[in-house]
Amino acid sequence: CRQFQQEWNLHPIHGSDTRDRSPQDMRLLGQASLGIYEDEFEGICPTVLQRYYGIHGWEVVHHRNQTGAGHPSDEADEPAKDDIIDHIEQKQANDVQHDAVEVPDSNTPFRNKEDESMFFEILEAVVMEGIVLEGYNLREGEDEYDKNTSEYL
């Protein structure tokens, strides 16, 4: 099964949209040009997301003596946004075990647009010429799979 998977991911797909690229080539080019999808809500309970990011707006919480029937001036229509943020923070306090991590200013590894353009020009030339580097288990005879080897992009 793994052998089939490796062969399949390396075979060229013929077509005007694919330009004879393999699934692995298309994945790499897609990640390089569009970035890698990261779920900004990973680890957040789906019910919390549904409750606060649903389609029905802010949840109306009626306090004591507020029935919701009518609109007296002392009855708020929506809870204050700060109250909701505080509520979410309190609900998730047990799940967060660390201080906030600083996020880099940019999501690109390139210093400027010229470096980025040069990278993609070279990458396109390498792909179009069919250059396959040695030592990446992509060439004939390099197909020994080592489960202890991994590479993170």
Q: What is the mean pLDDT of the chain?
A: 76
Provide the residue type at 117 as one letter: S
Task: Decide if 12 contacts 21 (C-beta within 8 A).
Answer: yes
pLDDT at 89: 80
Residues 9 and 136: beta-carbon distance below 8 Å? no
Task: Express each pLDDT in 37-71 by its tens digit.
Answer: 888 888 888 888 877 776 665 566 666 666 666 65
Per-residue model confidence (pLDDT) at position 139: 74
Please give the residue that has the higher pLDDT: either 69 or 91.
91
Identify residue 55 by its one-letter amino acid code: I
| Distance between CA atoms of residues 55 and 49, nearest Å | 11
CA dist 19 and 12 (Å) reads 8
Q: What is the pLDDT of residues 14-37, one digit of tens each?
A: 887 777 888 888 888 888 888 888
Q: According to the model, what pLDDT value does residue 121 have?
A: 92
Q: Are 127 and 29 in contact (CB under 8 A)?
A: yes
